Amino acid sequence: MTDHRVLAVESKDYRDLDSTAVWSLVADPGRLADWFPLVPLKPVSTVDPGPGTETRVSWRRGTSPATAWRAVVVEWDAGTAYRCRIDRIPGLGEAELTVSVDTRPAGDGTRVTLRFVATADSRLRGLLAGFEARRRLLRSLDRIGRAARP
């Protein structure tokens, strides 16, 4: 069986948002549902979790932790970026989400880049998953702009 790579990368500039405010939103596992379509099922109390921090996530509230996916932070650069691995997404297997927050030159706001990578079990599922991942990343970027405002 051939695996098919799914890759979606989206960026957005927020001219009026400070990178510290954006980072405090995207780095807090308790606020994940404020900006991303995954809901954390196991509370994590730290704002800067770091490598090895694990939680369970799902597309919707009320999911049993036994059937939710395991998400583990595998790389962490406090204030700038992190990468987490998400296990057991149906039809995709293991996936990775990378979040980067960059200050723009000359005080021109903040850029956020979201990157999703997975492997699908068929070409069609890979194409559909790529379109869906891109849609979810774009929606997440819009939600970051609203949720990071004071």
Would you state the structure tokens that stand for residue 6, as one six-digit string?
């799914």
Task: Report the pLDDT value the prediction gives residue 47, as an integer from 0 to 100.
Answer: 54
Structural contact between residues 35 and 142, judged by C-beta atoms closer than 8 angstroms? no
Task: Report the pLDDT value the prediction gives residue 52, as an integer from 0 to 100.
Answer: 87
CA–CA gap between residue 53 and residue 149 (Å, rounded): 27
> What is the per-residue pLDDT across 88-138, written as a single tens digit (0 to 9) for each?
777 787 899 999 999 877 678 899 999 999 988 888 888 888 998 999 999
The 8-class DSSP code of residue 80 comes to: T
Would you state the structure tokens that stand for residue 136, as one six-digit string?
């979810």
User: In CATH, what number is assigned to the domain containing residue 27?
Assistant: 3.30.530.20
Structural contact between residues 119 and 31, judged by C-beta atoms closer than 8 angstroms? no
pTM (predicted TM-score): 0.86
- Greatest mean pLDDT among 20-29, 43-52, 87-96, 101-110 lies in 20-29
For residue 135, report the phi and psi dihedrals to the nearest 5 degrees: -60, -45
Domain of residue 88 covers 4-147
Task: Report the pLDDT value the prediction gives residue 82, as an integer from 0 to 100.
Answer: 94
Give the pLDDT mean for 5-13. Answer: 92
Task: Report the pLDDT value the prediction gives residue 101, as an integer from 0 to 100.
Answer: 95
- The number of domains in the chain is 1
> What is the per-residue pLDDT across 53-98, written as a single tens digit (0 to 9) for each?
888 787 766 666 667 788 889 999 989 999 999 887 777 878 999 9
